[in-house]
Structure 1
Amino acid sequence: MDVRSRRRLGIAGAAAALGAAGIGAAVAARRVAVGRVRLQPDPYAGEPFGVRCGEPMTVLADDGLPLYVEVDEPEARVSGRPTLVFCHGYCLTQDTWHFQRRDLKGFRKVFWDQRSHGASGRSKPGNATIDQTGADLAAVLRATVRPDEPVVLIGHSMGGMSIMALADREPGLFGDQVIGVGLVNTSTGEIHQMTLGFPLLLAKAVRPFAPRVVSGLGRRKQIVDPAREVGADLAFFVIRRMGFADRGISPGIVDFVERMIRATPIDVIAEFYPSLMRHDKRAALEVLTRIPVLVMSGGADMLTPRPHGELIADLLDDAEFVGIEAAGHLLPLEHPDEVTAALLRLVERSSDAAAAASAREGKEK
């Protein structure tokens, strides 16, 4: 082993030792801190997070896996409005879109759980990939939307990557059936470069070991998953720190996110991790130049930092970029009103663009 390799291992080992030495005191301190946070006034204490109210259905993916889907039919649907199809992120579920589901009235809305997440079936490990989630999204569209019905696709984090994978797989859908796309807290690639807010030197030292660590945890599901139950208080603190920029974020929202993540088995997390690290769909953005796109990023997002969103917007012809400086990786839950308002603008832009394109085609005929 050369000097450079020994130095890297030394730094990583030092970081691990420091973490191990302080873990007992940290857990006790975090329990006290979390208890204090939960005692604060919470405007969302009675919010029915995770209560599903749409029409449930099962859609079979191309490998036969059952995908859980819910369709919300509006009481009074406005003619000509597109169906909104929502795609959630890694370790989450369709309930990520709780506020948008509640507040976007008058739209037909489709929500689905990614494979191995939520109520969907458990994937074979080899099919736990971003490309496969793009194929899954295609199956959901075929099952829930008529071919002549306009659609706006909306994805958060890995859900945005699923939309890019669909564009790569079936580009003909975009500009024809898919008239608009919303990309929230997502990236075209280079996720393996993220620092998670750690100093760059420490992040670079630990980064090479991350795949092996995640893979090792995945092989110890029987030990790790019960430990996650016991460590829920510590997870609350970590999620509050890593997922949100607002230190006054509702404890009810943090608890809700913690439950979604904890419900995702550790081996599922491990199976998807390599595909996330290899994700590279920059070339697929060429397909999205045909339609209006909304790109939203958080200034304090540690998982898909703001520059990732800015890059996407810069590469598109008709993109609205919305950057919220005091926001983390969970914009739909941390800043729901801003997300909902931006989606309404996207729908209006997409509908206008589709109508103009239809008028041009009519004149040419």
Structure 2
Amino acid sequence: MVRVGRAIGIGAAAAAAAGAAAAGVAADRAAADRRRLDALDPHVDFRHTPDVELVVVATDSVKLHVEVDTPDSWNVRQPTVVLSHGFCLSIPSWIFQRRALLDAGYRVVTWDQRSHGRSDVSDAEHSTIEQLGQDLRAVIDSACPEGPLVLVGHSMGGMTTMSLVRHHADLVRERVMAVAFIATSANGEGLTDLGFGPLVGRAIGQAGPRLLSRLAPHQRWLGPVRRFGKTVEDSVVDRFSYDSPVSEKLVRFTSDLILATPFEVMAAFIPAIKGMDEYESLTALVDKEVLVVNGEGDLLTPPKHSAAIVERLPGSEHVVVRDAGHLIMLEHPELVNGQLLDLISRAAVDLELGVAAGAKPRVRRFITDIARGRRVRGVRRDEAAERSQERAAKAARTKVKRAGSTRRRRRS
């Protein structure tokens, strides 16, 4: 019996080793493909210097990091766009949107949600969606206390927006002209399935917080491990963040953002997200211009969650993007930028004409990012042509070398 158990153990270890090796090979191939796609965004700089940095103190004394960018041409009668990032992300995840909005002449406020980025880490008691809504109110009161507002939330940031709407309906009624929900949900059911289905996903969701809490004291030792397992790590991040080919540069940027989040923070917020239900909050937005955007291949907040939001907002515009995952604002930035600018324009027209968004028909559109697809095909075509030229040159060198060898043999 002992021998059998030992044999099974050895077999399991061998299978695990083989699986790890296979995963490593697959990750290496994926990494090579992403490196070739770096030509998609060769000049991308993810850094941004804000006009103003603020420290906003939340209701429980947690200090929140806030950044404000104001174009020279902006005035207080124009809208301020407030961007709220998602779970395990931070301000830099909005880099493409804040630049586009600034270029269009809008003031932009970005902030690190509590326990993320440069904001203070919260205690577990206040790691809730309700508290995040109160935090957003504090940010608005400090960074943009007057003038019209456009609220944009990605993933957990969308939940934060819903919480604000529920607790501060007066602010929404008086100042909010438009809201955008990007890859988010109004209910936490099924959000921890991670695309594995309810059975496996439920086990991951239940074990996740406990496992992360146990790993938290050892997180500082994972730096060297991350460096050695970078290609596997990138492949995991790529799978759950994107649904189309992206560059290694973008995946590495994403990995660094996500894994900068302490494990104890992940463990604290997972139960809050799972237990969230903000459907009733949406009733306060019935007469507001609302945009709902989701990726068709989003594994973390599947499309059905966006559809459930749209069902409760009769005048909303629902945009489903093909070949897009959870981090759609980084994967298809030009497309998302265009949708946000169109949203603000529609809201401005509504206000001018006195039209309530709830009186307009609901719109649902499926969009393919054709321009980006062309760039991907172009990069791969150029890379294939380069490889073909290299093979032809190598064949020519081999032919010359063989001819030389033949001549030397004949002389001898």
TM over 0.5: yes
Residues 64 and 120 of structure 2 are in contact (CA less than 8 Å); yes or no, is this contact kept in structure 1? yes
Residues 188 and 273 of structure 2 are in contact (CA less than 8 Å); yes or no, is this contact kept in structure 1? no
Matched, 1:295 2:292: yes
Backbone CA RMSD of aligned residues: 2.6
Of 201-210 and 303-312, deviating more is 201-210
| Aligned counterparts of 2:15 and 2:342: Cα–Cα separation in 1 | 48
Partner deviation per Cα, 1:76-123 (whole Å, 9 max, x = no partner)? 226742110000001111111111111222001111111111111121
- Ranges in structure 1 where 5+ consecutive residues have no aligned partner: 1-14, 360-365
Aligned residue identity for 2:176: V
2:384 corresponds in structure 1 to: none
2:309 corresponds in structure 1 to: 312
1:155 to 153, 156, 160: 153
2:179 corresponds in structure 1 to: 181
Q: What's the CA shift for 1:295?
A: 0.3
1:133 corresponds in structure 2 to: 132
Of 26-35 and 324-333, deviating more is 26-35
What's the TM-score once normalised by structure 1's chain length? 0.86
Of 48-57 and 128-137, deviating more is 48-57
1:164 to 147, 162, 165: 162
Matched, 1:83 2:80: yes
2:42 corresponds in structure 1 to: 45
How many pairs does the alignment contain? 343
Residues 78 and 106 of structure 1 are in contact (CA less than 8 Å); yes or no, is this contact kept in structure 2? no
1:255 corresponds in structure 2 to: 252
Residues 175 and 290 of structure 1 are in contact (CA less than 8 Å); yes or no, is this contact kept in structure 2? no
Residues 291 and 353 of structure 1 are in contact (CA less than 8 Å); yes or no, is this contact kept in structure 2? no
1:266 corresponds in structure 2 to: 263
Aligned residue identity for 2:253: F
Q: What's the CA shift for 1:231?
A: 3.2
1:143 corresponds in structure 2 to: 142
Aligned residue identity for 1:116: S
| Aligned counterparts of 1:85 and 1:30: Cα–Cα separation in 2 | 37
Of 34-43 and 51-60, deviating more is 34-43
Q: What's the CA shift for 1:19?
A: 6.0
Q: What's the CA shift for 1:354?
A: 3.0
2:177 is paired with a residue whose SS is strand
Q: What's the CA shift for 1:153?
A: 0.3
2:219 corresponds in structure 1 to: 221
Aligned residue identity for 1:294: L
1:343 corresponds in structure 2 to: 340
2:342 is paired with a residue whose SS is helix
| Aligned counterparts of 1:79 and 1:127: Cα–Cα separation in 2 | 33
| Aligned counterparts of 1:242 and 1:157: Cα–Cα separation in 2 | 13
> Structure 2 vs 1, CA of residues 255 and 292 (structure 1 numbering), >3 Å: closer, same or farther?
same
1:210 corresponds in structure 2 to: 208
| Aligned counterparts of 1:172 and 1:287: Cα–Cα separation in 2 | 10
Q: What's the CA shift for 1:137?
A: 0.3
Of 292-301 and 138-147, deviating more is 138-147
- Ranges in structure 2 where 5+ consecutive residues have no aligned partner: 1-11, 357-412
Q: Which of these two proteins has the greater Rg computed from alpha carbons? A: 2
Q: What's the CA shift for 1:342?
A: 1.0
1:243 to 241, 244, 248: 241
Matched, 1:106 2:105: yes
| Aligned counterparts of 1:220 and 1:92: Cα–Cα separation in 2 | 21
1:329 is paired with a residue whose SS is coil
Partner deviation per Cα, 1:226-278 (whole Å, 9 max, x = no partner)? 644543332211111111111x2122211111110121111211111111111
Residues 224 and 266 of structure 1 are in contact (CA less than 8 Å); yes or no, is this contact kept in structure 2? no
Residues 188 and 277 of structure 2 are in contact (CA less than 8 Å); yes or no, is this contact kept in structure 1? yes
| Aligned counterparts of 1:126 and 1:21: Cα–Cα separation in 2 | 43
1:284 to 281, 284, 294: 281
> Structure 2 vs 1, CA of residues 351 and 158 (structure 1 numbering), >3 Å: closer, same or farther?
same
Of 18-27 and 114-123, deviating more is 18-27
1:9 corresponds in structure 2 to: none
1:192 is paired with a residue whose SS is coil
Residues 191 and 301 of structure 2 are in contact (CA less than 8 Å); yes or no, is this contact kept in structure 1? no
> Structure 2 vs 1, CA of residues 207 and 162 (structure 1 numbering), >3 Å: closer, same or farther?
closer
1:3 corresponds in structure 2 to: none
Partner deviation per Cα, 1:171-200 (whole Å, 9 max, x = no partner)? 111121111110000001134355323255
Aligned residue identity for 2:59: D
Q: What's the CA shift for 1:17?
A: 11
Residues 159 and 184 of structure 2 are in contact (CA less than 8 Å); yes or no, is this contact kept in structure 1? yes
2:53 corresponds in structure 1 to: 56
Q: What's the CA shift for 1:157?
A: 0.4
Partner deviation per Cα, 1:286-342 (whole Å, 9 max, x = no partner)? 111131110001100000011111110111132110001211001111111111111
1:153 is paired with a residue whose SS is strand
1:4 corresponds in structure 2 to: none
What's the TM-score once normalised by structure 2's chain length? 0.76
Partner deviation per Cα, 1:193-237 (whole Å, 9 max, x = no partner)? 553232555435555433433333335434556644543332211
| Aligned counterparts of 1:198 and 1:302: Cα–Cα separation in 2 | 9
> Structure 2 vs 1, CA of residues 89 and 31 (structure 1 numbering), >3 Å: closer, same or farther?
same
Q: What's the CA shift for 1:168?
A: 1.4
Residues 90 and 157 of structure 1 are in contact (CA less than 8 Å); yes or no, is this contact kept in structure 2? yes
2:402 corresponds in structure 1 to: none
